[in-house]
Homo-oligomer: A and B are copies of this chain.
Amino acid sequence: MKQQVTIGIDIGGTNTKIGVVSSDGKILAHSRITTTDYPKIAAFVAALDSEINGLLEKSGEVELAAIGIGAPNGNYHKGTIEHAPNLAWKGIVPLGDMLGKCFPVPVVLTNDANAAALGEMIYGGAKGMKNFIILTLGTGLGSGIVINGELVYGKTGFAGEMGHLTMEPFGRECGCGREGCLETYVSATGIVKTVFELFAERRDPSPLRKIPFDNLTSKMIAEAAEKGDQIALAAFEQTAEMLGLAINNAAAFCSPEAIFLFGGLAQAGDLLLDPLNQFVNENIFGHYRKSFRILLSKLNEADAAILGASALAVKAIKI
């Protein structure tokens, strides 16, 4: 009997990753294509078609059960990518339908953070959990929210955009055209901004002061903090406080059993987690105190995008 597999596709602004995933979460074969090589969506779909067929052949005796796609501005309800600022395809792109014509299996699509939540639930640290949130701390801040065992898509299909919670009316300018969004403070780029604010406010010497804004990365800040740099440590503390405020407010919505952190900034580990746990415990509403844990994602960065998209496919055929 052939082994049932799913395909996970993660579409990024630069690269698109494709993988064949077994039911126990092993990536049997994978590859990538350059998203920007295909300014026309039809050519992109043709490339995916050929790539998927090649990967399935490489994977041995397998039978394709479903395809899951993680894509920026992915609308789960419609299988469309809608007005994604970092992709060449403008307007509303019916990618789910187009790929469904190449493969006679369910094709399901959502954004990468929602896919990450399902990846965590099916292959990672959230196995068996019914209520949890994953926050992806990269260039921006994405979120996937699971309540009563189901991913929250909402009326529009775009629920779970915690990166665009307004934390500071009249705060930092956000790429979404508004001000004070969580991701302008809590993300790999947000912590860089915080460091530059701290340069202005404080007098502590720091080797980071020699690095131009455009060159400073969250990794450099983490390395400086490890060495005791006061500015870098304060930046992690401020980042943790803003994130903690958002997490405490999230608890008042849905009282989760865990919050998972994923992505570049999460790799700072205890530099972020220690002040975060302290802030959360000191400031949370009584009913929720010690009711959830803040954990690092159990999926490794390299596989997570493909596994998340695959989990979306798994979820689609299990229901």
A156/B287 contact (C-beta < 8 A), A147-B147, A147-B148, A169-B245 known = yes
Q: Which residue of B lies closest to A154 (CB)?
A: B255
The answer to whether B283 touches A160, judged by C-beta atoms less than 8 angstroms apart, is no
Q: Which residue of B lies closest to A130 (CB)?
A: B155
The answer to whether A291 touches B249, judged by C-beta atoms less than 8 angstroms apart, is no
The answer to whether A178 touches B285, judged by C-beta atoms less than 8 angstroms apart, is yes
Q: Which of A155-181 contact B (CB under 8 A)?
A: 155-162, 164-166, 169, 176-178
The answer to whether A252 touches B291, judged by C-beta atoms less than 8 angstroms apart, is no
Q: Give the A interface residue count (CB, 8 A).
A: 40
The answer to whether A176 touches B145, judged by C-beta atoms less than 8 angstroms apart, is no
Q: Please, how many angstroms separate the alpha-carbon atoms of A310 and B245 in the complex?
A: 36
Q: CB-CB < 8 A to A250: which residues of B?
A: 253
A166/B256 contact (C-beta < 8 A), A150-B148, A176-B286 known = no
The answer to whether B159 touches A255, judged by C-beta atoms less than 8 angstroms apart, is yes
Q: Please, how many angstroms separate the alpha-carbon atoms of A288 and B164 in the complex?
A: 11
Q: Tell me if A153 counts as interface (CB < 8 A to partner B).
A: yes
Q: Distance (Å) between the CB of A120 and the closest chain B CB?
A: 16
A145/B287 contact (C-beta < 8 A), A154-B131, A166-B248, A245-B169 known = no
Q: CB-CB < 8 A to A249: which residues of B?
A: 165-166, 249
Q: Tell me if A213 counts as interface (CB < 8 A to partner B).
A: no
Q: Which of A211-242 contact B (CB under 8 A)?
A: none
A152/B147 contact (C-beta < 8 A), A177-B286, A248-B166, A252-B161 known = yes
The answer to whether B148 touches A255, judged by C-beta atoms less than 8 angstroms apart, is no
Q: Tell me if A317 counts as interface (CB < 8 A to partner B).
A: no
Q: Which of A62-89 contact B (CB under 8 A)?
A: none
Q: CB-CB < 8 A to A51: which residues of B?
A: none
Q: CB-CB < 8 A to A158: which residues of B?
A: 255, 287-288
A252/B162 contact (C-beta < 8 A), A147-B147, A156-B291 known = yes
Q: Which of A236-281 contact B (CB under 8 A)?
A: 245, 248-250, 252-257
Which of A252, A286, A291 counts the most B-chain CB atoms under 10 A from its CB? A252
Given contact pairs A157-B255, A178-B283, a sample of 10 additional A-B residue pairs in the complex whose CB atoms are under 8 Å apart:
A148-B152, A154-B256, A155-B257, A156-B287, A156-B291, A160-B254, A161-B287, A164-B285, A165-B252, A253-B254
Q: 5 A-B contacts, Cβ less than 8 Å apart?
A: A147-B148, A147-B152, A156-B255, A156-B287, A160-B252
CB within 8 Å of B: which residues of A? 131, 145, 147-148, 150, 152-162, 164-166, 169, 176-178, 245, 248-250, 252-257, 283, 285-288, 291-292
